[in-house]
Structure 1
Amino acid sequence: MKKRRIAILGAALVAVAASILVYAQPASAAVGLHISGRNIVEANGQNFIMRGVNHPHVWYTGQTSSFANIKALGANTVRVVLGSGKRWGPSNDVPQVIQLCKTNRMICVLEVHDTTGYGEDGAAATLDEAVNYWISQKANLVGQENYVVINIGNEPIGNNNPGQWTAATVAAIQKLRSNGFEHLIMVDAPNWGQDWQNVMRDNGQTVLNADTQHNTVLSIHMYAVYNTAAKVIDYLDRIQAAGWPLVIGEFGWQFNSNEVDHETILAQAQARGLGYLGWSWSGNTDPILDMATNFNPAQLTTWGQRIFNGTNGIKATAKEATIFSGNPPPSSASPSPSRSSASPSPSPSRSSASPSPSSGTKGCTAAYSIVGQWPGGFQADVKVTAGTAAITGWTVTWTFANGQTITQAWSATITSSGSAVTARNVSYNGTLGAGASTNFGFLGSWNGTNTAPAVSCTAS
């Protein structure tokens, strides 16, 4: 349930293992946020229960007001979508993201989204590649252990060979620790996060034991696999019986009878003291999962009203982290010399130009990619990147060579004249800083051949 629909296998859950060892995780050194038993606690020992939502930052880097809007609705945590550069990003604005979280008095869960569905999605990054991204950001993360949780990689394994999750996750945790990271680590389940084959449920102890600092929390994502109260409760019961720390890192809502039983999730999370982070604030391919229409907090959807204002929702149950009590949070550490405190610049591998705020060239480039294809249909993503000066609007054009047609689009206004296509920014993603990027996408139809066209971009 990301920038595109994820097909959930209609398979029954695998039979439960005969027994699960009960695990009592020792408390780690109180560097910052850490695990004590099944709970997340702050450095002062105060329990912290996440109550928040996911924000798709990497695709909408200009939507920085979302942090204040999410906080104003009561959240104490925001899970921020970042890109490692393998598929999205790279997100080189980590110091700015952390400061937005701290300014708005929310704990920051940072996640690399490029790993989504590895093994099934050919474009996905490995967990090891995600760890390399975190290592590249180490200078921006060290010292932020009170405020930042590192969610190594989003939904890191798809439905093909989910058993690889255990070894890959163990290696990722150990690599982070060997490189000096002391943060609370969050790890997502396989099966696109839903663990319907119970790999995380049956191997969680191996993963938790791999952390020399005993400071890892498991994360389950609950969508259509968890469409009854019985399925939700059974999964949570088994994790609780094992004594493992868990958060519900993503979940949607029951907009039809086959979808996730969000009412049970909310009630069970509150009863068990589990953190939850709903998907997502705005900007979804399928807008039914948006909480705010067009990122506007004054236009909460049914889902938005429910998760923020309903029974067991964020406003009723969230408690702000005590780290923010009394004094305003300190500023983030200054970015390393290779990073700018302004809008992110393209890495050398993406642009040979050196951005200059005073003498940059106003322009933009666009990159077209096919992210999914099936008989008669496909999904495409177009990444728009500003040149070496800020822009206030963009227009992308291309010509289909094989008779393709567009059936649905998001994050751009698209018009067609025969095979010629024009895409223009919408209100919330036209303004880009020098080197900054945004994405739009669409669904289309094809027959015979689906060649990716050459695209051009003009800026205003």
Structure 2
Amino acid sequence: MRRILATAAGALLAVTAAVLTAPHAAQAAAASPGFHVSDGRLLDANGDDFVLRGVNHAHAWYTARTPQALKDIKALGANSARVVLSTGDQWTRNDAADVAAIVEQCKASRLVCVLEAHDTTGYGEAGAAVPLSRAVDYWKGIKSAVEGQEKYVILNLGNEPYGNTGYADWTSGTTEAIKSMRSAGFKHTIMVDAPNWGQDWSFTMRDNAAGVFAADPDKNTVFSIHMYGVYDTAAEVQDYLNRFVSQKLPIVVGEFGDAHSDGNPDEDAIMATAQQLKLGYLGWSWSGNGGGVEYLDLATGFDAGRLTAWGQRLFNGANGIKATAHEAGVYGSGNPGGDGDGEGQTGTCQVTYRLSDWGSTFNADVTIRNTGTTAVKGWKLQFSFPGDQRVNSAWNAKVSQQGKTVTATHESWTETIGAGGSVSFGLSGSSASANGAPSTFVLNGASCTKA
């Protein structure tokens, strides 16, 4: 369905992003220095599973608002922000210096930056829109701002690159754009939007995504669906997302709101399904919407203290950002906003997992710190390996493994963890592929932060 277009005066389009991860994991590009797709999941540079939980910010029209907006978005629990940029074809170009500043601001707020080029919106139907080739030209022109930032930045190739006219060209146009980006040396995860103003009612992206993914030399592409009036029932939401998941194709809910002029999207189903399938989402949008879609503002007047009903729903409601966001492991802090697995509960514990990797074998030193005010007597720590690692032996704990799940329980001499104290144990293992660190840890049923 067509949606209201953004204008330079501030009438903004609704945009959102969310991530699952990709198919054919065995083909994932080991060469990627940052975010990458593997075994049907999006992993960060540490090899930890990462699920986007954040919002969009319309930087192209509100450049002065960006530093504070990113701080506020983080303070409300988000782990990421999708930032609107202009190629200069429709609106004022955001140059390399500007983009570099945005990246640093995202990093300062410990957010993953999803950068998107907006001037492609509705190409083929919107008269001023430009093709994806122009977006590629833009990314090449500001490459210096994002090169080396692959740990922190995902590139959203072009916003809603086809309208309801000429959308059959989406497959070839997207494929060629991805190949051109790779030829230019971009190693980032590339996010690609659906046609039909992002909503893919024609199922063009759904039915051709596997071929587009396979054509990426780096196998590091994630797909983005924008859910508005086309997705006004739970059945439609679930069917679309599950079709990608069943093929291990990477999918993101690229935009959504709690209302829209083309119909009433089922935001509860969108958030619940994304949480169930562990797909990312980014809600549209922080503030500044105009042209009849002001109801999509999450914050009134860019004021984090005045969240709208939609803002309260997205940040604080069921399956919302506060309850499910997990900070990217590249920031080294663990889990301030929830564990990403649906509970949103963190225990008074912190786990350090230090990996010594020798290729086919490895050792891991694990330290559990009690950050609470009472002693823990008797403990069980559970975590999952990211690959095919197998435990061969352990010390200072009893360790068992079922599938990828590892369970460690105390020995008599490590049974008690005093308030503010810690215990350590180690394990030795082997694997046929690269060794990575687990992304989440659960102690006696409560999630721990990862140090």
Structure 2-normalised TM-score?
0.67
Conserved? CA contact 1:218–1:245, under 8 Å: yes
Provide the rounded CA distance (Å) in 2 between the counterparts of 1:241 and 1:257.
Answer: 29
What is the CA distance between 1:283 and its match in structure 2? 0.6
* Deviation string, structure 1 residues 46-96 (Cα, Å, up to 9, x no partner): 000000000000000010210000000000000000000000121010011
What is the CA distance between 1:38 and its match in structure 2? 2.0
2:78 pairs with 59, 72, 75, which one? 75
What is the CA distance between 1:103 and its match in structure 2? 0.3
Give 1:217-232 correspondences, 5 Å limit: 217-232=222-237
Partner amino acid, structure 2, of 1:72: A
Question: Identical aligned pairs, as a percentage?
Answer: 52
User: What secondary structure does 1:217 align onto?
Assistant: strand
Q: Partner residue of 2:157?
A: 152
Conserved? CA contact 1:208–1:216, under 8 Å: yes
Q: Partner residue of 1:53?
A: 55
Provide the rounded CA distance (Å) in 2 between the counterparts of 1:107 and 1:216.
Answer: 16
1:193 pairs with 191, 198, 216, which one? 198
Describe the shift of the 1:85–1:300 C-alpha distance in structure 2 as closer, same or farther (beyond 3 A): same
* 1:309 corresponds to 2:316: yes
Provide the rounded CA distance (Å) in 2 between the counterparts of 1:326 and 1:263.
Answer: 30
What is the alpha-carbon root mean square deviation over aligned residues?
1.9
Number of residues of Structure 1 aligned to a counterpart in Structure 2: 313
Provide the rounded CA distance (Å) in 1 between the counterparts of 2:125 and 2:262.
Answer: 27
User: What secondary structure does 1:102 align onto?
Assistant: helix
What is the CA distance between 1:28 and its match in structure 2? 1.6
Provide the rounded CA distance (Å) in 2 between the counterparts of 1:257 and 1:110.
Answer: 26
User: What secondary structure does 1:226 align onto?
Assistant: coil
Q: Partner residue of 1:104?
A: 109
Partner amino acid, structure 2, of 1:47: D
Provide the rounded CA distance (Å) in 2 between the counterparts of 1:205 and 1:256.
Answer: 32
Conserved? CA contact 1:38–1:246, under 8 Å: no
Partner amino acid, structure 2, of 1:27: A
> Tell me, which stretches of 5 or more residues in structure 1 are unaligned?
8-21, 328-460
Q: Partner residue of 1:28?
A: 29
Provide the rounded CA distance (Å) in 1 between the counterparts of 2:130 and 2:260.
Answer: 31
Provide the rounded CA distance (Å) in 2 between the counterparts of 1:182 and 1:233.
Answer: 31
Conserved? CA contact 2:259–2:295, under 8 Å: no
User: What secondary structure does 1:58 align onto?
Assistant: coil
User: What secondary structure does 1:187 align onto?
Assistant: strand
Provide the rounded CA distance (Å) in 2 between the counterparts of 1:106 and 1:279.
Answer: 17
Give 1:244-263 correspondences, 5 Å limit: 244-254=249-259, 258-263=263-268
Provide the rounded CA distance (Å) in 1 between the counterparts of 2:168 and 2:100.
Answer: 35
Conserved? CA contact 2:12–2:289, under 8 Å: no
Describe the shift of the 1:159–1:5 C-alpha distance in structure 2 as closer, same or farther (beyond 3 A): farther
Q: Partner residue of 1:431?
A: none
Partner amino acid, structure 2, of 1:57: H
1:280 pairs with 278, 285, 289, which one? 285
* 1:300 corresponds to 2:307: yes
Q: Partner residue of 2:137?
A: 132
Moved more, 240-249 or 74-83: 240-249
* Deviation string, structure 1 residues 297-349 (Cα, Å, up to 9, x no partner): 1110000000000010000000000111159xxxxxxxxxxxxxxxxxxxxxx
Conserved? CA contact 1:196–1:225, under 8 Å: yes
Provide the rounded CA distance (Å) in 1 between the counterparts of 2:280 and 2:333.
Answer: 24
Q: Partner residue of 2:186?
A: 181
* Deviation string, structure 1 residues 9-46 (Cα, Å, up to 9, x no partner): xxxxxxxxxxxxx9524222241011012211012210
2:220 pairs with 206, 215, 229, which one? 215
Provide the rounded CA distance (Å) in 2 between the counterparts of 1:269 and 1:74.
Answer: 17
1:320 pairs with 310, 318, 327, which one? 327
User: What secondary structure does 1:85 align onto?
Assistant: coil
Give 1:322-401 correspondences, 5 Å limit: 322-325=329-332
Partner amino acid, structure 2, of 1:74: G
* 1:89 corresponds to 2:92: yes
Q: Partner residue of 2:296?
A: 289
User: What secondary structure does 2:230 align onto?
Assistant: helix
Partner amino acid, structure 1, of 2:269: T
* 1:235 corresponds to 2:240: yes
Partner amino acid, structure 2, of 1:81: V
User: What secondary structure does 2:128 align onto?
Assistant: coil
Provide the rounded CA distance (Å) in 2 between the counterparts of 1:298 and 1:96.
Answer: 25
Conserved? CA contact 1:227–1:257, under 8 Å: no
Partner amino acid, structure 2, of 1:289: L
> Tell me, which stretches of 5 or more residues in structure 2 are unaligned?
15-21, 335-451
What is the CA distance between 1:241 and its match in structure 2? 1.7
Provide the rounded CA distance (Å) in 1 between the counterparts of 2:297 and 2:314.
Answer: 11
User: What secondary structure does 1:99 align onto?
Assistant: helix
Describe the shift of the 1:276–1:60 C-alpha distance in structure 2 as closer, same or farther (beyond 3 A): same
Provide the rounded CA distance (Å) in 1 between the counterparts of 2:225 and 2:333.
Answer: 34
Conserved? CA contact 2:229–2:260, under 8 Å: no
* Deviation string, structure 1 residues 282-307 (Cα, Å, up to 9, x no partner): 11112100000111111100000000
What is the CA distance between 1:262 and its match in structure 2? 0.3
